[in-house]
Chain A
Amino acid sequence: MKPKKLMTEAMLCALALILSYVESLFPLSVAVPGIKMGLPNLVIVFALYRLGAGSAARISLVRVAVVALLFGNVYSFLYSLAGAAFSLLLMVLLRKVRGFHTAGVSVGGAVMHNIAQVAVAMVILGTEKIIYYLPALLVSGVVSGIVIGLLAGLMIRRIGNVNKLSS
C-alpha cells in the first residue's frame, strides 16, 4: 500500500473515532436501545466512494476495535462488529447498483446495521423478543441514514479526490 493512501486511511480512521466519541457524548434518550445518529458512517461512506471498499473496510474495522478497547467490552465489540460488517457489505453492493445515491446507500447501511445488531442481541441475550424493537430501529435507521447520506454526498462532491489532498 502506498504511504499516502495509508496515511489518508489513518486520518479518516481518526476522524471516525472522534465522531464515535462525539456520538457517545450525546446519547439519544429514547426508550429503544440502539438508536443513534450514526455519525461515524459519514466517514465510512466517504471512504467507500473516494478510496474504495477495501479502505472503507479497514477504517471501519480499526474504528470498531479501538472503540471497543477504549470505551467498550467484549459484548459491545460483538454488536459493533456485526453492525459494521453487514452494514458495509450492503453499502458496497448498493453502491454498485446504478441509480443509487449516497442517501440510499447510507440508508441501506444504517438499516442493515440495526438488523445485524438486533440479531446479535437476540443471540447474546438468548431471547427472540428483542425483535419487537426492530420497527422503531428501522425508522430511526432511515432518518439517520438520509441525513448522514446527504451530508456524505456533499463531502464527497466538495472534497474531490482525496489522494490529491496532501500534494
Chain B
Amino acid sequence: MARLKEYRKDLFLILGVLIGAGLIAGAFALAKKPGAYVRVEQDGKLLGVYALSEDRREVFPDKDGADGNVLVIEGGTVHMETASCPDKLCVKQGTKSQVGDTIVCLPHRLAATVIGAEEAEGLLP
C-alpha cells in the first residue's frame, strides 16, 4: 500500500474529476424534462424547428448536394437515420426526446437540439 500512498495527489485529482463529472451529470439528469420541438443548426445558423408531435423525415444535404444527414422524428422522439460522414457518430447517438438532448455531427457541423415549447416560440414562423 506504500506505493499507492505515493500516488496520493494523482488519486485526489482523479477522484476530483470523477466527482465533478458525476455532479454535472446529476445536475443535467435532474433538469431533464420532455421536449416539444427539435431545433437544427449548422455553423450556429438556424436551419429549422420541427415539432416532435408530428412524424417526419428531414433531409439536410451536404455541400455536394448529396443526402448529408437524414433526421427522423417518430413517436415523439428524434434520431439521425443516416449520415454521409465516415464516423456516423450522430447515428450512434441514438434516440432523443428530453429538453437539452443534442445530436451532433461534427464533420458537417450540424446540431439537432431538443427544446421546450417556450424556447421554440420565438423561433417558429
Interface positions of A (Cβ within 8 A of B):
27, 29-33, 75, 94, 97, 99-101, 103-104, 107-108, 111, 121, 124-127, 129-130, 132-136, 138-139, 141-142, 146, 149
Assess the A135–B25 pair: CB atoms within 8 A.
yes
Nearest 10 pairs of A and B residues by beta carbon:
A126-B44, A104-B10, A135-B25, A138-B21, A99-B9, A135-B21, A129-B102, A31-B92, A31-B93, A33-B89
Q: State the total of A-B contacts with C-beta under 8 angstroms.
A: 97
Assess the B87–A142 pair: CB atoms within 8 A.
no
Known: A32-B93, A104-B14. 7 other contacts (CB 8 A): A99-B9, A107-B13, A127-B102, A130-B104, A130-B111, A132-B28, A135-B24
Assess the A75–B109 pair: CB atoms within 8 A.
yes
Q: What secondary structure prevails in chain A residues at the interface with B?
A: helix
**Interface 1/0 per residue, B83-125 and A, CB below 8 Å:** 0000101001110000011101010010101000000000000
Minimum CB–CB distance from B6 to chain A (whole Å) comes to 8
Interface positions of B (Cβ within 8 A of A):
6-10, 13-14, 17-18, 20-22, 24-25, 28, 41, 43-45, 87, 89, 92-94, 100-102, 104, 106, 109, 111, 113
Query: CA separation between A164 and B99, bound complex, in Å?
Result: 58
Q: Which of B9, B17, B45 contacts A111 (CB 8 A)?
A: B17
Given A121-B104, A125-B43, A138-B21, check contact A108 B13 (CB 8 Å).
yes
Given A125-B43, A142-B17, A146-B14, check contact A30 B109 (CB 8 Å).
no
Residues of B with C-beta under 8 A to A142: 14, 17-18, 21
| CB nearest to B28 among chain A residues | A132
